[in-house]
Amino acid sequence: MGTHGHVSLQELDRFSRSAFLAIGADKDTADAASRAMLHGTRFGVDSHGVRLLPHYIRALEGGRLNKCPEIRKVGGFGAVEVLDADNAQGALGAYRGMDRAIDLARQYGIGAVAIRNNSHFGPAGAYALAAAETGFIGLSFCNSDSFVRLHDGAMRFHGTNPISVAVPMGPENPWFLDMATSAIPYNRVQLYQSLGVQLPQAVASDSAGVDTTDPSAVDMLAPLGAEFGFKGAALAGVAEIFSAVLTGMRLSFDILPMGGPDFATPRALGAFVIAMNPDAFLDRASFDDGMRRYVEKLRTSPARENCRVMAPGDREWEVARQRQEQGVVLDPVTAEQFGALAARLQIPPVA
């Protein structure tokens, strides 16, 4: 551990890769899963960061995930490709899919890749950002097991079903959206419960679908939008259609729960990624100028009192800069789990 219990991102990356390799997962799995989790931790999306490592290790050891998958093309033509991820850890299928989408976009101006037989892929933004970092626009979609009610609904219907879009901005950090279509993530409920804090209005419900601010009474999340929750529910449907219907994979309400108890049966998740090459639409200087002018005007537009106007991604890039310099403090549960993993797998503990 560094000063005041801080751990560097590099050390977390080292530990994560070591753990995957120690249980017999292949190098591609160790690389992709660690890269995605470190994306989450780096940008402050801790729910999808390194705290997922013990979960992924359990799923790989249990057989739900394939330690040495053979990802292969099974369909598509032109700018479209369909990949079968062979029950890979989800980040591997998604990164491989985005790599193919980028290759297709170089050739055709756009590439769209449906990924079958994938699994929980963590932070959707990791894959959209992979495209933006190569100068392309990236989009990613995934569904997950049901936990979010419909607007006026009283059952878990959609997953948190994220949508991410990342857009390059020349030498600057990309414009970067990564959003769940639920009002809040479930880890916020858990956090508020541990702190004894009431939830905001209209973000979660009890088992009858009735809104509650008591985190211990939460049985399902509400869709984004409060009294306009039909918008959030429909956006969840967009992610559902792209990631499940177009891939031929399971709808949210048919997916086995992420938390088990079954860690042996693959969950048949789909994912969908798109890469677009701005050069296919206009000259790069005009594109860069348009994005720069748009974001500059956005950031300098009048703000409400004691508020600051930010572009999507601005807060995340600030967190990333801070964590790159200072490292992160692991929550007590994750730190304890990492200690147990290190001992069991006989790998050097997090230092």
Cβ–Cβ under 8 Å, residues 327 and 42 = no
Give tens-digit pLDDT for 311-351: 999 999 999 999 999 999 998 889 999 999 999 999 999 99
Cis status of the peptide bond prior to 261, with omega within 30 of 0: yes
Under the banding of pLDDT at 50, 70 and 90, the label for residue 2 is very low
Mean pLDDT of 100-106: 98
- Give yes or no for residue 60 having a pLDDT over 80: yes
The predicted pLDDT at position 28 comes to: 98
pTM of the model: 0.96
The predicted pLDDT at position 4 comes to: 54
Give tens-digit pLDDT for 200-211: 999 999 999 999
Enumerate the domain spans of the chain. 3-182+223-285+313-345
Mean pLDDT of 154-173: 97
Under the banding of pLDDT at 50, 70 and 90, the label for residue 66 is very high
Helix, strand or coil for residue 75? strand
How many C-beta atoms surround the C-beta of residue 193 within 10 A?
A: 15
Give tens-digit pLDDT for 132-160: 999 999 999 999 999 999 999 999 999 99
How many C-beta atoms surround the C-beta of residue 8 within 10 A?
A: 18
Over the chain, what is the mean pLDDT? 96
- Give yes or no for residue 177 having a pLDDT over 80: yes
Supply φ then ψ for residue 117, to 5 degrees: 50, 50
Residue 277 identity (one-letter amino acid): N
- Give yes or no for residue 256 having a pLDDT over 50: yes
CATH architecture of 3-182+223-285+313-345: 2-Layer Sandwich (3.30)
Percent of the chain with pLDDT over 90: 94
Q: Does 339 or 194 have the greater pLDDT score? A: 339
265: tokens are 């049966």
The predicted pLDDT at position 276 comes to: 98
In angstroms, rounded to a whole number, what is the distance separating the alpha carbons of residues 80 and 86?
19
Cβ–Cβ under 8 Å, residues 311 and 175 = yes
Give tens-digit pLDDT for 11-21: 999 999 999 99
To the nearest 10°, report the CA torsion of 118, 122, 127, 130: -130
Percent of the chain with pLDDT over 70: 99
Under the banding of pLDDT at 50, 70 and 90, the label for residue 191 is confident
- Give yes or no for residue 3 having a pLDDT over 80: no
